[in-house]
Amino acid sequence: MKQFYLLIYVLLFTSFVFAQEVVNNKRASSGKERVKAFQTHEKLLASSPYKNITWRLVGPNTRSGRSTDVWGIAGKPNIMYAAFATGGFWKTEDAGSSWIPLFDKQGTQAIGNFALAPSNPDIIYLGTGEANIFRASLAGMGIYKSTDGGKSWQHLGLENTGTIARIIVHPQNPDIVYVAASGNEWSYNSERGVYQSTNGGKSWKKILYVDEKTGCIDLVIDPSDANTLYASMWNRIRKRWSDPVPEDGDYIYKSTDGGKTWRIINKGLPDTKYTGRIGLAVAPSKPNVVYAFIDNHLEKRKPKEGETDSYERPVEKIVIGAEVWKSEDKGESWTKQGEVHDFLTPFSGTYGWVFGQIRVLPTDANTIFVLGVQMAKSTDGGKTWKVLQPTDKESDWIHGDNHGLWIDPTNPERMILGNDGGVSVTYNGGAKWKNFFDKILTTQFYTITYDMQQPFNIFGSVQDEGSMGGSIENTFGKPQNPNVKAWDFTPGGEGTQICIDPIEPNIVYSSSFYGRLMRSDMTKSRRNWSTRIHPPKASDEESHRGEWLAGTLLSPHDRKTVYHGMQYLFKSENQGDSWKRISPDLSYNNKQKFGKYPYLIYHQAITAIDESFLKKGLLYVGTDDGRVWLTENDGADWTEITKGLPSNAHVAKIQASRFNEGRVYVALSDRREDNITPYIFVSEDRGKTWTNIGKRLPQAPTNVIIEDLDNEQVLYCGTDMGIYMSKDKGKTWVAIQANLPASVSVQDMFIHPRDKKLVIATYGRGVYVLDSLEVLK
């Protein structure tokens, strides 16, 4: 009887937890809603009076963005394809000398995976939505198909899959296609698993499904038997305050009847309670050999005292990380290859969920490659490893964080590599590489700002590159003007808000990671230009929590006054040499929403700060958990002004009006709930009441709102689908996308106060400028 009551209790508790998850998931939007939103966006683009204006592409010309997949065609070395996380789909027909984008008119630039039909490489299946679940990954709109090498596209559905991790096309029949649907990033959905089409994508059947949080992250086919498939399933949900956490149920499945039935094959594999993402590969030359690249989060050792990770977060557990397992009987039993040692640890560390790619040389079942922060090669089936680095002195370098590798089946010496820096190719097995970072502008900017030099320079934080800067006079594809600043690295980490001293433009304020603030003097050598000025923790304060893009502001009234946000707001009046805390914890400080390392993402912290140009000490502050605050006396007193705004939505931008002391604008992004509702609000009474002025925008998360410098009626808004302008303070909006990719994500923008140029930072296509605002009048 006790067991019966215990069972009832467990069932009731499970139902309660599931019900809570459903409540928490209620804001999530479907892929069909995204498709409908883009259709609205297209109509507004077509009817815009500004569709013929020209945005100039400024750059950078030194680095691409994250490539998610790469392909070539056997016997045709001049043709290569590359997909990007938020930069679209590209092709070269001249061995990389020039590249063209093939997907710029579609509803998303987020590509998860693609495949060329082995029997006809002009047939391409393209899966949208990045499967790597970075903090800024963007969801997709399903599957697209081209039958002419990417010149034209047809949408094939599967809109609600969220993200697509792998596409497999039958070796002989291009109408038989398998899709690994990895699902939504932040919310539950049932459109996960493995799908099959037998009619070229006209219709789809779900052939493997576990539950609403478990998606398929990898899928491979036996080259000797097209009815044999292997699929790795992954509990693929992350929280805003945590990296993905391993959960039970991350199994490898096998089918021998073309996907009609599946069974788990885990004999010898580690306990799935502590494993996460699994990458798969079958040896083409010996198909009974199957490899699994497993992200194992069992503890490897205790951390050393004071040990931190590469993001300066405290280490509480050193995990095993990358492991390679081998089967010689088509997955029926598995053996760990080699001993667990420090060599493979840096390949994944605690973020193996980003990688998980493994390949086998087509001609040798014992030569394998694993992709992680670095790329490693084994020639003895995984027993021993070495980092694959160029050996030719004339070789280009290999960028880190690798996500895609294609090996020519007829010439294994030719390989194409995709990583966070873009695309590279080798023709001699990796001794010498050629990069195309300067040919494919898909750079992912988070933020952007300017200095007051003549001509002025741009500074921005860039995914996996730190911070970069260059002159506004640069134009991508044109020769460098030797009289202006070329694109180069500037102070700051890859996630930071940057502030430039308006009088001394070499003085830069930026963060390394998670709000660890520093002041830099660019007249010094790069090694010595930065001084840490992060506010120290006081005895009555909790450990400081800094967001990825922690709020930082230079006062418009005093260039030596710096405001910096963790969960508290700090102020310095001497350029960061000393600080005082001027607020309480402005977040909800919900202990249930604190991640624990190694899954920690700093959360419940300040993301947006602005001070009125009209009144010194009138400050607005917003947090990533949706709170907005006002102080009218420089922090002596605080009033919460969240009422009337959507709950718990990430505050992306606050702008106090230059024209009216009581007016303030707020842009909130709810992308971290998979919600595409645009949230832009204005208050005319310092936040006592709010008006939603984003309702007439197409459905897409909003990232930035700015006010025109000369006309208070004019506003500019950046969304995950593009850029809009209003000439009536937000009552109506008009698209000013013009020659930009139709669905490019606009993350940040500014109007230069002297030169009146509108500059935008895109997450996937670099920096653009509108050289004159006169074209918008």
* CATH value at residue 734: 2.130.10.10
pLDDT for the residue 43: 96
648/627 same-domain check: yes
pLDDT for the residue 26: 61
Q: Which regions in the chain score pLDDT beneath 50?
A: 1-25
Whether residue 472 contacts residue 448, with contact meaning beta carbons closer than 8 Å, is answered with no
Which DSSP string corresponds to 270-292? PPGGGEEEEEEEE-TTSTT-EEE
151/100 same-domain check: yes
405/467 same-domain check: no
Torsion of CA 668, 719, 748, 553, to 10 degrees: -10
Q: Let me know if 5 is exposed, middle or buried by CB neighbors in 10 A (0-12, 13-18, 19+).
A: exposed
Residue length of the chain:
777
Please give the Cα distance from 491 to 500 (Å, whole number). Answer: 11
Q: Is residue 348 part of a domain?
A: yes
Q: Is residue 4 part of a domain?
A: no
Please give the Cα distance from 121 to 113 (Å, whole number). Answer: 15
In terms of residue numbers, what domain contains 423?
A: 66-435
pLDDT for the residue 351: 77
Query: Average pLDDT over the chain, rounded to whole?
Result: 93
pLDDT for the residue 22: 38
What is the count of structural domains for the chain? Answer: 2
- Single out the residue in 407, 435, 463 at which a domain terminates: 435
Q: Is residue 31 part of a domain?
A: no
Q: Is residue 531 part of a domain?
A: yes
In terms of Cα–Cα distance, which of 377, 187, 360, 175 is closest to 285?
360
- Single out the residue in 400, 435, 470 at which a domain terminates: 435
pLDDT for the residue 24: 41
545/656 same-domain check: yes
Residue 387 φ/ψ, nearest 5 degrees: -70, 130
Q: Is residue 211 part of a domain?
A: yes
561/531 same-domain check: yes
> What is the pTM (predicted TM-score) of this model?
0.95
Name the strand (E) or helix (H) holding 31.
Answer: helix 31-47
- Single out the residue in 435, 460, 476 at which a domain terminates: 435
644/711 same-domain check: yes
Q: Is residue 525 part of a domain?
A: yes
254/173 same-domain check: yes
Question: How open is the CA angle 209-210-211, to the nearest 5 degrees?
Answer: 110
122/186 same-domain check: yes
Question: How open is the CA angle 16-21-24, to the nearest 5 degrees?
Answer: 125
Strands 88-92 and 100-101: antiparallel
Q: Quick one: tokens of 415?
A: 């390989």
403/456 same-domain check: no
411/482 same-domain check: no
398/473 same-domain check: no
Q: Is residue 508 part of a domain?
A: yes
Q: Is residue 367 part of a domain?
A: yes
Q: CB within 8 A of 472, min separation 6: which ones?
A: 58, 450, 455, 456, 457, 458, 752, 755, 757, 759, 769
pLDDT for the residue 341: 58
489/623 same-domain check: yes
**Cα 404 to the center of its chain, rounded Å:** 16
